[in-house]
Amino acid sequence: MLGSYSKHGYIMKVLVVEDDRKIASFVQKGLREQGFTVEVCVDGNDAYSRATRHSYDVILLDIMLPGRDGLSILRALREKKITVPVILLTARAGLNERVEGLNLGADDYLPKPFYVEELIARIHAVVRRATGERLTQLSAGALVVNLITRVVQRGDEQIELTNRDFNLLELLMRSPGRVFTRTQILEHVWGYDFDPQTNVVEASIRRLRVKIDPPSGSSAIETVRGVGYRFRREVQ
């Protein structure tokens, strides 16, 4: 999450599901200006397909959509145990609809019209709740990462990392066992404006392994051949 709202290092990826193209463009522009990676879709069926096939930090979900409506998408995602934070967006502000959405597993509810500043604040609020609001440190074996001071240590040894390498390590350590594709890593750490042919991910992974791994034993960062990379659940 870079830009003015960079509190967790990596860039937050947001799916905006909104069939009003003017509103969708407004939201996309406002979020991108603050460093978010944003995808927009205008159809409920497409939105459900993307949400089940790709990884997002937050989904902004309109209720009234062509194809599947927002509440049916939310219900289906929660039934599939997809726990990505969801903020419902709608021009209808009826109490019953709000209650139904929250009961189905929505994390927040924002009626239209709204200010982008409020939307961004609500995004960060639901992400903090989902990831642990007071999380200030990540650890795995002897490796300790302080998210406030951005200091990385293995035992008593302090490890110097570039900002990009730190953000990549943080991304992987926040979700041990989860496989991140090269494209997902590029989007989260380098942002949406990157060269897809670059080898920066591979180079950064190599540097991290040299710096954070013990002299002997398995690397903390595992290559999943043909897919991507993941941080091992158990490391030395």
Reported as a single tens digit per residue, the pLDDT across 171-212 is 898 888 888 888 888 877 876 556 666 788 999 999 999 999
Q: What is the dihedral of CA 226, 231, 234, 236, to 10 degrees?
A: 110
Residue whose C-alpha is closest to residue 57's, from 171, 148, 145, 193: 171
pLDDT at 1: 31
pTM check: above 0.95: no
Q: Which CATH number is correct for 3-131, 3.40.30.10, 3.40.50.2300, 3.40.50.300, 3.30.450.40?
A: 3.40.50.2300
User: End-to-end distance of the chain based on CA atoms, in angstroms?
Assistant: 29
Q: Using an 8 Å Cβ cutoff, are 88 and 66 in contact?
A: no
pLDDT at 6: 42
pLDDT at 204: 93
* Mean pLDDT per 10-residue segment, the chain (236 residues): 41 91 91 87 95 91 92 93 90 68 86 86 83 70 85 92 89 86 83 68 94 87 92 80
> How far is the C-alpha of 73 from the C-alpha of 90, rounded, in Å?
14
Q: Same CATH topology for 3-131 and 137-231?
A: no
pLDDT at 3: 32
Domain covering 137-231: architecture: Orthogonal Bundle (1.10)
**Which ranges constitute the DSSP H helices of 151-191?**
163-174, 182-185
> How far is the C-alpha of 178 from the C-alpha of 84, rounded, in Å?
14
pLDDT at 7: 42
Count CA atoms within 13 Å of residue 199 on its CB side: 4
pLDDT at 131: 67
Rounded to 5 degrees, φ, ψ at 211 are -85, -35
Q: Where exactly are the structural domains of the chain?
A: 3-131, 137-231
